[in-house]
Structure 1
Amino acid sequence: MASKSSARLAALTVAAVCSVTSTVVLTSPAHADSVRVHDIQGSTRQSPYAGRQVTDVAGIVTGVRGYGSRGFWIQDPRPDADPATSEGVFVFTNSVPKVAVGDAVTVSGTVTEYVPGGTSSGNQSLTEITRPTFTVVSSGNAVPAATTVSARSVPRAYAPEGDEEAGGSVGGLTLRPARYALDLYESLEGMNVRVADARVVGASDPYTELWVTVKPWENANRRGGTVYGSYDAQNTGRLQIQSLGKPADFPDANVGDTLAGTTAGPLDYNQYGGYTLVASQLGSLESGGLERESTRAQSSRELAVATYNVENLDPSDDTFAAHAEAIVHHLKSPDIVSLEEIQDDNGATDDGTVTAGATVGKLIDAIAAAGGPRYEWRGIDPVDKADGGEPGGNIRQAFLFNPERVSFTDRGAGDATTPTGVTKVRGRAALTHSPGRVDPANPAWANSRKPLAGEFVFRGRTVVVVANHFNSKGGDQGLTSQYQPPSRGSETQRHLQAAAVNTFVKEVLAVQKNADVIALGDINDFEFSRTTRILEDGGALWSAVKSLPRGERYSYVYQGNSQVLDQILVSPSVRWAGRLSYDSVHVNAEFHDQVSDHDPQVLRFRP
């Protein structure tokens, strides 16, 4: 987590610098009498005054930010009649400003459209006044009343289609705040807003952020979250909450909790979640009583197979006992566990180490200490720095298996660059290398994890398991992007990866039509995605998460959306074996004290 915190701090620093360097200085200032805040904001996402100097813009200070992108918000207490024009704006000072909430000020400076994360991110721009000079006219003034954001005020439609002539951007479109949720939020950019009795749909994170919804019924699940089930049905009621107060005062909230009463402050826009209420007033936390789930134990005749992303696990971590607790007591010690994000034996230290025996061995010991079985394991060390992930970490998949319940078929163990193939042994499909990697030289796996395949035997029946960790969604445009619909460029590589795994499974089934094959892991894509459809192509596989009710289909919570990233896909013989049981075991993603950002998945069936 420390590396993520450092990266986030660095990003904030870069954002502050970018705000300065992106300022465009032109010549003539706009006349003071003619320019109000709503004039600067205009009726589109881009200010008609962008790049121009303005003088003596009047407003009341509604919030002061002394960290990250330093500055203050002002709001005009005399609004115009146009609902599309915001009455608030952020004044970027690059240092702690000497103003206080309630000060009446006049501000002169340059109007800038700053894009958090840079223009390549696709994010919308934030209208700011930069390189400011300001005068405090009076103090102790009443702050303009906060505008209520509620289920009634937020439209059902999420965003307009982007302008084709502008490359799909919505930046120049006239805002229709009564029609689109993103237009409403943009029309309130920089203004003092409030939510009341808001339910938490994204747990507090280490950066003092959480997510709430003003529409608690919107695609709700039984645990209080908001399920993301379609590209065409965005959850419009979600809003990120940050705090202008001390980080120590930020609540430790889980999904299903409530920020009771009023949460109010300026509405900002940032690269980490889009529209964000930066709260000067936080509601009181009321617990929803969320508890970690436990699945049932498999019967003597059932094979239990699980996938669990343990989030960059290495020997220096203090999470081994917690992961062991999850595997033993919440997953009920599955017979086979595919682990993703196992790092090498010295973690992020970049010294050429690729072995992971210490990492996996420490987890095995912790599981045994927690009362679980003494697992054995198999894996293949990657080529140094070839599989992506945290630099120096050499993440990979690994199999744990309970030797009292299953056996592993070791056959011509492969290495990082040798592909496993499929052959026939006594009339059944068998791997040429077990463990082995699937098509590791395929360009689809460039700078990404290569699938790990292995043969297991349970009650005399061979089961081929393929552990996966597809490339991440990093670099995709966010849901609040200025481009609508947003581009998901990372999908291209996942589609190629899915095709490679599907081809391999078809090779197994071509040798043995009724072979039991399981492909599982962190697929980094949704059950309704094209990636999943490619994995399933030709009926070779079927994503078993779809056996769950729609409200139960999630393994990850991102920006308040409960969504599927981790999947277990099965061949026809497994799907139709009878009494197939699937469980997404919610032990991490919904909790502020998570030890991984993923929930493990468990499949039980009778081979």
Structure 2
Amino acid sequence: MVRWVRCRGAMLFVFGLVLGLTLGGAVAEGVEIWEIQGSGLESPLVGQVVDTGPNVVTALTDRGFFMQTPPERTDRDPATSDGLYVYLGHTPKVHTGDLVRVTGTVTEYHGMTELSSSPAVTVLDSGAALPPPVDLGPSLPSGDPPPEASLEPLEDMLVRVAAGTITGPTSGETTFWVVARDGRAFREPGIPYPGEAGLPVWDGNPEVLRVELGHRGAGEPENGAAAGLPITGLEGPLAYSWGAYEIWAAAGSYRISGTPAATPAPRPGRSELTVATQNVERLYDTVDDPSTKDDVPTVAELDTKLAKLSRWIREVLGAPVVVALQEVENLGVLENLADQIHADGGPRYVPELLEGNDISGIDVGFLVKETFAVDSLEQLGAGDRFEYDGTDYTVWDRPPLLLRGRFTGNGAPYSLSLLNVHLRSRNGIEGSNGGFVREKRHQQALSLAHMIEQLQTAEPTLRLVVLGDFNAFEFTDGWVDVLGQVTGRPDPLGALIPVTDVVDPPLDDRVLDVPAASRYSFVHEGSAEVLDHVLTSTALTPWVREIGFAHGNADSPEGLATSPGTPLRCSDHDGLVLVLAADANGNGIPDDREPRHARPVHRALPAR
């Protein structure tokens, strides 16, 4: 029974210590938390002043605290929550285990029910046992969207992940992502739920939970949590903030097994060579360019960045013959990187870069070993334009860069062409400017498809590698099927903007040859995804031997980006390395298929 009393601007006194003031107006007395929460997504008492207690303080934040109904007073209704957040706006004076009575206004703050408006908090007792946490696992939360269906009844209650997996590394200082199971979460095809009629829908991976640390938890590595590692004993209240559920983990409530580590890319065998792609994440020099919106690192920051990239390219990528790079400001800083690699005992690389159109000043470029003779370097599509909503726009901020040359490190020259690309990101694709973002991404994919078709038509036997940061998945995202358009192999699930048939013969996306568990180059809010690709022409198929990612950047916490003692997190992208057979005698037969060669042929990857 809810009782109403008039308390106009007076202090609410209950046995114990009063820590706040109530608002003037009618107060609903004796309201249980599960009555405040209700069985829907919002409280049925929004806007009302309520008095509730005694409840147990379960966790503290810097601006308030969580409390929960003692087990003996729960309504045992699986549709309602026994937990509630109290927003004070200042550091709370209560302690975990205190029994409190609170009077405040029921509000919904970005989807989370709480008491606010300077609530009055009365401490009735201390040292109370905390309610037992609800165990999360493979079936809770449900893998079906929306996540609110299974988690809203647990909002602000204590939950526990007894054994799970970190599926997204620490971002900033206090946030990482987990799943309550063995194995990480991956991006899947489609538009995030609820999607659009007639188009593929992605469930959004509702099993992924954000973890927020009010303070650093015991057992966490110094620079944060790394994705892919097991986590045990994670416990805290389940909050809802900015469209996602998050566990406010208590200090010492969990353990992480292992530390961040690099997984090197495949290495070439005898009579083989490697080419690679690596987004280096905003590699800028220390000079402010007034014509662009560039970053300007300090000398020390740039030195650390160059040292980390040098180690990554040498030790993790394996010093490929050619490395296609994205997000490089200019030729000068690329020369700095080449010099750093050589000074660190690595090979001598020749930098190649042409300036593009990007307002932030980033371009695509190459590092080329001296065993690869460059015949030509050509920027494609720099002047391409498209019209959207009556306005003319540039297709390419970072025009593709075509490098033609010959590998001379194993006998007869081996001709190879590499097209380095960096497409527009997906940022804003579902927002108010989504129509423009989708159209620009489609125009870039279509322009790139025409480039490829022209190259193949002019030279049907061209050994072509198209590689770089496509900012696109290996399947359709439901809006634009970028890889389907570029390769000539559209995803049967389709997209809002359909693929135009251009590329014939089609290219192979070699990412699809990577085992599924290792198929990612980026991690976004707990979901591993492929953004970087290596595509090969039909003429190159007999020469392809292996493909693999160099992991260690995307999984590592952001805090390692400034750590000079490790190559990890030199970028937010992982690298991708392609192994090719060579042709020492120039007879057009891969060396490992010569009768005299001992290397097994089974490494050859098939065309699709």
**TM-score, reference length from structure 1:** 0.73
1:433-460 CA-to-partner distances (Å, cap 9, x unmatched) read x144455434697597323222321245
Distance 1:506 1:447 in 2: 18
Find the aligned partners of 1:544 and 1:138 in 2 and give their Cα distance.
65
1:475 & 1:129 partners in 2: Cα distance? 33
- The answer to whether structure 1 residue 268 and structure 2 residue 216 are counterparts is no
TM-aligned CA deviation for residue 491 of structure 1: 4.5
**What's the counterpart of residue 407 of structure 1?**
374
Question: For the residues of structure 2 that align with 1:292 and 1:129, how far apart are their CA atoms?
Answer: 46
| Counterparts in 2 of 1:579 and 1:446: CA distance versus 1, 3 Å | closer
1:599 aligns with 2:574: yes
Q: In structure 2, how many angstroms separate the alpha carbons of the residues matched to 1:103 and 1:448?
A: 60
SS at match of 2:385: coil
Q: Compared with structure 1, are the counterparts of its residues 257 and 518 closer, same or farther at alpha carbon in structure 2 (3 Å cutoff)?
A: same
Deviation at 1:562, TM superposition (A): 2.1
**Residues 276-331 of structure 1: CA deviation (Å, up to 9, x unaligned):** 11111434534346631223433575442211111112234212112111111221
Say whether 1:573 aligns with 2:539: yes
Give identity over the alignment, percent: 29
Aligned counterparts, 1:197-208, within 5 A: 197-208=163-174
8 Å Cα contact 1:202/1:560 also seen in 2: yes
Equivalent residue, structure 2, for 1:381: 355
SS of 2:136's equivalent? coil
The equivalent of 2:177 in structure 1 is 211
Change in Cα spacing, 1:182 to 1:447, as seen in structure 2 (3 Å) is: farther
Is 1:324–1:366's contact at 8 Å kept on the other side of the alignment? yes
Show the counterpart of 1:94: 89
Query: Is 2:17 the counterpart of 1:45?
Result: no
1:83 is displaced (CA, Å) by 1.1
Which whole-Å CA distance do the structure 1 matches of 2:244 and 2:123 have between them?
33
Contact 2:266 2:579 in 1 (8 A): no
2:487 matches 1:536: yes
Contact preservation (8 Å) 1:27, 1:53: no
- Deviation digits for residues 16-41 of structure 1 (CA, Å, limit 9, x no counterpart): xxxxxxxxxx99646223x3322222
The question of whether the paired residues in 1 share the 8 Å contact of 2:382 and 2:396 is answered with no
> Partner of 2:464 in structure 1?
517
2:32 aligns with 36
Q: Hey, what does 2:343 align to over in structure 1?
A: 369
SS for the counterpart of 1:255 is coil
Provide structure 1 residue ranges, at least 5 long, that are not aligned to the other structure.
Answer: 1-25, 116-124, 161-180, 344-355, 411-433, 479-486
Which residue of the partner structure matches residue 451 of structure 1? 399
Deviation by residue 1:424-479 (Cα, 9 ceiling, x = unmatched): xxxxxxxxxx144455434697597323222321245553322222222333569x
User: In the aligned structure 2, how far is the partner of 1:76 from the partner of 1:605?
Assistant: 64
- Taking the aligned partners of 1:464 and 1:207, their CA distance within structure 2 comes to 43
Cα 1:506/1:159, change in 2 over 3 Å:
same
**1:83 aligned residue (73, 78, 86):** 78
Written as runs of structure 1 = structure 2, the 5 A alignment for 1:98-109 is 98-109=93-104
Distance 2:514 2:435 in 1: 26
Q: CA distance change for structure 1 residues 137 and 287 in 2, over 3 Å: closer, same or farther?
A: closer
1:340 aligned to 2:311? Answer: no
State the AA in 2 paired with 1:470. Answer: L
- Structure having the higher strand fraction is 2
How many correspondences in the alignment?
Answer: 488
**Cα distance change, pair 247–153 in 1 and its aligned pair in 2 (3 A):** closer
**Amino acid aligned to 2:401:** A
Residue 131 of structure 1 corresponds to 117
Runs of 4+ in structure 1 displaced over 6 angstroms? none
**In 2, distance between residues paired with 1:446 and 1:57?**
60
Superimposed CA distance per residue, residues 307-364 of structure 1 (whole angstroms, 9 cap, x where no aligned partner) = 1111112234212112111111221211221111213xxxxxxxxxxxx233212211
Structure 1 residues 126 and 580, CA gap change in structure 2 (3 angstroms): same
CA distance 1:442–1:359, shift in 2 (3 Å)? farther
SS of 1:406 mapped into structure 2: strand
Is 2:491 aligned against 1:545? Answer: no
Change (3 A) 1:193 1:597: same
Q: What is the Cα-based RMSD across aligned positions, in Å?
A: 3.0
Displacement of 1:207: 1.8
Q: Is 320-329 or 236-245 further displaced after alignment?
A: 236-245
Is the 8 Å Cα contact of residues 235 and 247 (structure 2) preserved in structure 1? yes
Q: Which whole-Å CA distance do the structure 1 matches of 2:537 and 2:486 have between them? A: 11
Write the distance in 1 (CA, Å) between the matches of 2:308 and 2:83.
46
- CA apart distance, 1:518: 2.3
How many angstroms does 1:382 deviate by?
3.4
CA 1:309 to 1:114, structure 2 compared with 1: closer, same or farther past 3 Å?
same
Once the two structures are superposed, the pairs formed by residues 554-569 of structure 1 within 5 Å of their partners are: 554-569=520-535
* AA at the equivalent of 2:282: N
The answer as to 2:57 corresponding to 1:61 is: yes
**Which residue pairs with 1:73 in the alignment?**
66
C-alpha change, 1:275 and 1:448, in structure 2 (3 Å) is: farther
Q: Hey, what does 2:197 align to over in structure 1?
A: none
C-alpha spacing 1:447/1:515, structure 2 compared with 1 (3 Å): closer
**CA contact under 8 A between 2:305 and 2:570: conserved in structure 1?**
yes
Q: Provide the C-alpha distance between the structure 1 equivalents of 2:521 and 2:402, rounded to a whole number of angstroms.
A: 24
Contact 1:306 1:338 in 2 (8 A): yes
Q: Which amino acid aligns with 2:363?
A: R
1-structure distance, mates of 2:394, 2:77: 51
Match of 1:313? 283
Deviation at 1:394, TM superposition (A): 1.6
Q: Partners in 1 of 2:98 and 2:367 — Cα distance?
A: 62
What amino acid is the match of 1:257? L
Post-superposition offset of 1:536: 1.8
Aligned residue in 1 for 2:11: none
Contact kept, 8 Å, 1:229 with 1:550, in 2: the verdict is no
Letter in 2 for 1:270: S
**1:500-515, aligned counterparts within 5 Å?**
500-515=447-462
CA distance in structure 1 between the partners assigned to 2:150 and 2:447 by the alignment? 43
- 1:417 matched to which residue of 2? none
Q: Which residue of 2 aligns with 1:243?
A: 213
- Partners of 1:250 and 1:299 in 2: CA distance: 39
Structure 2, unmatched stretches of 5+, are 1-22, 191-201, 286-296, 408-412, 489-502, 561-568, 583-608
Asked whether the 8 Å contact 2:43–2:113 carries over to 1, the reply is yes
Q: Residues 497-539 of structure 1: CA distance to partner in whole angstroms, max 9, x if unpaired?
A: 2122112211222222332332221222211222221222245
Give the match for residue 322 of structure 1. 308
* TM alignment of 1:428-443, pairs within 5 A: 434-442=378-386
1:540–1:571 contact (8 Å) kept in structure 2: yes
- 2:187 counterpart letter in structure 1: Y
Corresponding letter in the other structure for 1:277: I
CA offsets per residue over residues 47-84 of structure 1, 9 Å max, x none?
2223x122213332222211xxx222222222223212
The amino acid across from 1:140 in the alignment is S
Corresponding residue number in structure 2 for 1:349:
none
